[in-house]
Structure 1
Amino acid sequence: MKSRKGVRAAVTLAAAALGALAFDGTASAAPLPPGGGSWDHVWKGSSGDFTIYVKEYGDVVSICDTKADGKTPTVWVGPGNGHTTQYWFTAPGGKGACNTKSSSDGAKYRLKRGQKYTVTGCAWGCNTWDFRDRH
């Protein structure tokens, strides 16, 4: 099912850590979530303007700006079918900027085990994905 230039994907997850820097063909920094490593879920905006990373252990969600277009990518995380938001945050600072939230940032960032969650990312067109917290 498409959601305004977006794709809905059913997945299972719990969220976690992000990061690192890589280089694209022009040798400018391309954002990856801080810390590197392997991610349980990686979603890209359909316009190539952001990437969302989720690692199931630690309830970590990260969003990175991947396009120099003057827009600030935003991610919303909420239980159920996306009509309720548990929390949201942005990746301000332009191309290469990332921002991360995890369970260690406080109670509102802790995802309930077994709960279905919807992740929506926007910079221009919105993309929506679903997952179920396993940790």
Structure 2
Amino acid sequence: MKSRRSVRAAVALSSGALAILAFHGTASAAPVPPGDGWDHTWSGAAGDFRVYVEEHGDLISVCDTKADGKSPTVWVGPGNGDTTRYSFRVTGGKGSCASKSASLGGVYDLPEGQKFTVTACSYGCGAWPFVNDH
């Protein structure tokens, strides 16, 4: 039979390891970049979010980069900014990211050669155009 001291030591070690892993896993908010890097990256003026765009595969990601209690939201639409093709929100707080891509089909599969605008808001907002040319 194991002594209480050994059991306590094992619990303390495993708890410490989990705490280190949990901290390390949320230390930076960034999705894994594609093999050739992101085609476009933009940051909110208040430092509260970061947007990533990879045209091949129509991958759009946004990450929450500030512990302010707000959830960044993204709207993707035609280049004129008049309408929204789709939108999504980051949940989970600082260090969390959310993504949409053509692999989901439908509105997420952006037509090639067309201009789109990515608008993102959290504390402040920003809008950035790009041409989906590959």
Please indicate the TM-score interval, normalised by the length of the shorter structure.
0.7 to 0.9
Q: Which amino acid aligns with 2:33?
A: G
SS of equivalent residue, structure 1 residue 108 = helix
| Superposition pairs of residues 86-97 of structure 1, within 5 angstroms | 86-97=85-96
Distance in 1 (alpha carbons) for counterparts of 2:33 and 2:117:
24
Structure that is richer in helix per residue: 2
SS in structure 2 of the partner of residue 29 of structure 1: coil
Is there any run of 5+ residues in structure 1 with no aligned partner, and where? 1-26
Say yes or no: does 1:36 pair with 2:33.
yes
Unaligned segments of structure 2, at least 5 residues: 1-23
Per-residue CA shift, 1:26-55, capped at 9, x if unaligned?
x7612001x234100000000000000001
Q: How do residues 5-20 of structure 1 correspond to structure 2 at under 5 angstroms? A: none
CA distance in 1, matches of 2:81, 2:68: 27
**TM-score, structure 1 as length reference:** 0.77
- Aligned to 2:29, what secondary structure does the other structure show? strand
Aligned twin of 1:24: none
Tell me the equivalent position of 1:120: 119
User: How many corresponding residue pairs?
Assistant: 109
Residue 108 of structure 1 and its aligned partner are, at CA, apart by: 0.7
Give the structure with the larger strand fraction: 1
How far residue 83 of structure 1 moved from its aligned partner, in angstroms, is 1.2
| TM-score, length basis structure 2 | 0.77
Per-residue CA deviation, residues 2-29 of structure 1 (Å, 9 max, x unaligned), is xxxxxxxxxxxxxxxxxxxxxxxxx761
Larger radius of gyration: 2
Cα RMSD (Å) of the superposition? 1.5
Cα distance in 1 for partners of 2:80, 2:120 equals 14
2 CA distance for matches of 1:132 and 1:82?
A: 13
Q: Per the alignment, in what secondary structure is the counterpart of residue 31 of structure 1?
A: coil
Task: Please name the residue that 1:63 is paired with.
Answer: 62
Kindly state the Cα deviation for residue 124 of structure 1 after the two structures are TM-superposed. Answer: 1.6
Q: Which has the higher contact order (CA 8 A, sep 6+)?
A: 1
Question: In structure 1, what is the Cα distance between the partners aligned to 2:100 and 2:65?
Answer: 18
SS at match of 2:103: helix
Q: Could you list the runs of 4 or more consecutive aligned residues of structure 1 that deviate by over 6 angstroms after TM superposition? A: none
